[in-house]
Amino acid sequence: MSKIYVIGIVASGKTTLSKKLSRELKIPHYEVDCIVWHETDTERYKRTPDKQVELIKDIDKVGEWIIEGTYRSSCHCLLDMADSIIFLDPPLWIRKYRILLRFIKQQLKIEKCHYKSDFNMLRKMYMWTRDFEDKRYEFEKMLNNYKDKLVIINNAKKLDINKII
């Protein structure tokens, strides 16, 4: 059985890798943003931390899964539940470039998103990236508690999926 948690900061390649793993391994893929945020035709609202954990436990009951997203304390249980944790950590300049490219694609309606793509969100993504770099040590220290099931990837293009599963 495979339960894979793909974690990383904005524009690290989490969704791309997770979708690829999902196709190749035939395991369902879930986004942390869709666990945290509930979206209907008329509104989008944040679930409570308890509801988020409840949803994660429901997903876990199904069996195999790939869940990807940025780290959130409300989803910390995923670190314990996962058989494998993949931390995507490309260089900062690549992430900054991807943030801008993603924004442009969303503005041109080439790429969809679950949030309102505007300059405020673009600013937040760069801010989250900076904040992550400022707190990187604490994050890596937390992940070190799971080193027996942790894979750190700095360049997903050279990734051999068989080595991580």
Domain harbouring 80, CATH code:
3.40.50.300
Residue 165 lies in a domain: no
Count how many Cα atoms sit within 13 Å of the Cα of residue 154 in the half-sphere of its side chain. 3
pLDDT tens digits, 101-144: 999 999 999 988 878 899 999 999 999 999 999 999 999 999 99
One-letter amino acid identity for 43? Answer: E
pLDDT tens digits, 53-79: 999 999 999 899 999 999 999 999 999
Structural domain containing residue 52: 3-157
Domain count along the chain: 1
Q: Is the pTM of this model over 0.85?
A: yes
